[in-house]
């Protein structure tokens, strides 16, 4: 499996959160072999990540990484606005025609540019959330995404949304899996032990 | 039964879900049946480690709190 690489800021010294994230990177898949007997069925969680809002994507990443850490196979089907946070760093405007470009102009892609669904106040809300996050040493969406992919959480992009938004496979982060459609989402959701639409 | 702790997971200062994520990572280096301890300051970790123990089968054999630091001794499944 690929190891996550991000252009994260230089690590601060004596930062326990940073150390924890670095410990996690490079760890092979945790679920399955680590905790479960071979004959025992691995529990499965499927989350549909529909929203690109900070206060939706964040819990998706918290739950999916915790599931992987608990020996649960975690898969995230990424669709509609939910796809934009998974666009690679440095890609500002994506899409082929002007309407697709307008979408990403209005909602900036990338994991560091999420808006709040409530009280966004032109960026004031997310800024306050980020300040509180640092004060209470909570892992950021970027850090959680790194931990999640390192622990084997699978992210499946929606092919139809990619087509509609004009997103190409290479516009998305390398850790994304193969694009799939609604039938795949239904299959994995109905076979999973729990499925969530966030 | 003698408990010989082979590894300490220091999750002090970390918020949910990092104590669990860090522990799941550290546990790979511990042999089956081996004991390890986790130190955490997140008050939610008391309920969370109990749940994680039930999900994964890694048993909590000892638990204490001292000055805001929670200590869990677990046995690797």
Assign residue B61 the CATH number of its domain: 3.30.110.40
User: Considering only CB atoms, which chain A residues are within 8 Å of B15?
Assistant: 136-139
State whether residue A34 sits within 8 Å of chain B by CB: yes
Contact B11 A62 (CB under 8 A): no
Range of the domain at B38: 5-75
Contact B20 A35 (CB under 8 A): no
State whether residue A27 sits within 8 Å of chain B by CB: yes
- Residues lower than pLDDT 70 in chain A: 1-39
Number of domains in chain B: 1
CATH superfamily placement of domain A40-197: DsrEFH-like (3.40.1260.10)
Confidence of residue B3 (pLDDT cuts 50, 70, 90): confident
Q: Is residue B57 within 8 Å of B25, Cβ to Cβ?
A: no
- Going by DSSP bridges, is the β-strand pair A73-78/B35-40 parallel, antiparallel, or unpaired? unpaired
Nearest Cα of chain A lies from the Cα of B13 at a distance, in angstroms, of 7
pLDDT digits (tens, 9 = 90+) for A114-159: 999 999 999 999 999 999 999 999 999 999 999 999 999 999 999 9
User: B59 is written with which tokens?
Assistant: 């048993």
Contact A20 B14 (CB under 8 A): yes
User: Domain map of chain A by residue range?
Assistant: 40-197
Among residues B5, B16, B51, B69, the one annotated as catalytic is B16
Q: Is residue B49 within 8 Å of B59, Cβ to Cβ?
A: no
Q: Is B16 a catalytic residue?
A: yes
């Amino acid at each position: 499996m690929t190891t996550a690489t991000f252009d994260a800021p230089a690590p601060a010294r004596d930062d326990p959160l940073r150390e924890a994230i670095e410990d996690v990177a490079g760890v092979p898949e945790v679920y399955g072999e680590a905790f479960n007997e071979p004959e025992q069925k691995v529990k499965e969680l499927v989350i549909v990540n529909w929203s690109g809002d900070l206060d939706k994507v964040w819990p998706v990443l918290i739950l999916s990484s915790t599931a992987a850490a608990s020996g649960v196979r975690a898969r995230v089907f990424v669709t509609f606005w939910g796809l934009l946070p998974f666009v690679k760093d440095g890609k500002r405007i994506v899409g082929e025609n002007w309407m697709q470009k307008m979408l990403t102009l209005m909602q900036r892609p990338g994991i560091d540019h999420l808006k709040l669904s409530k009280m966004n106040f032109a960026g004031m809300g997310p800024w306050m959330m980020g300040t509180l996050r640092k004060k209470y040493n909570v892992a950021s969406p970027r850090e959680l995404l790194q931990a999640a992919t390192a622990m084997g959480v699978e992210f499946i992009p929606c092919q139809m949304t990619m087509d509609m938004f004009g997103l190409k496979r290479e516009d998305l982060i390398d850790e994304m899996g193969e694009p799939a459609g609604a039938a795949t989402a239904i299959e994995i959701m109905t076979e999973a032990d729990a499925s969530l639409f966030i | 039964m003698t408990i010989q702790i082979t590894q300490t997971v220091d999750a002090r200062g970390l918020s949910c879900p990092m104590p669990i994520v860090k522990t799941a990572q550290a546990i790979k280096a511990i042999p089956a049946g081996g004991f390890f301890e986790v130190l955490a300051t997140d008050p939610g970790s008391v309920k969370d480690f109990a749940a994680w123990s039930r999900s994964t089968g890694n048993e909590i054999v000892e638990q204490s709190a001292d000055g805001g630091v929670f200590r869990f001794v677990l046995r690797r499944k």
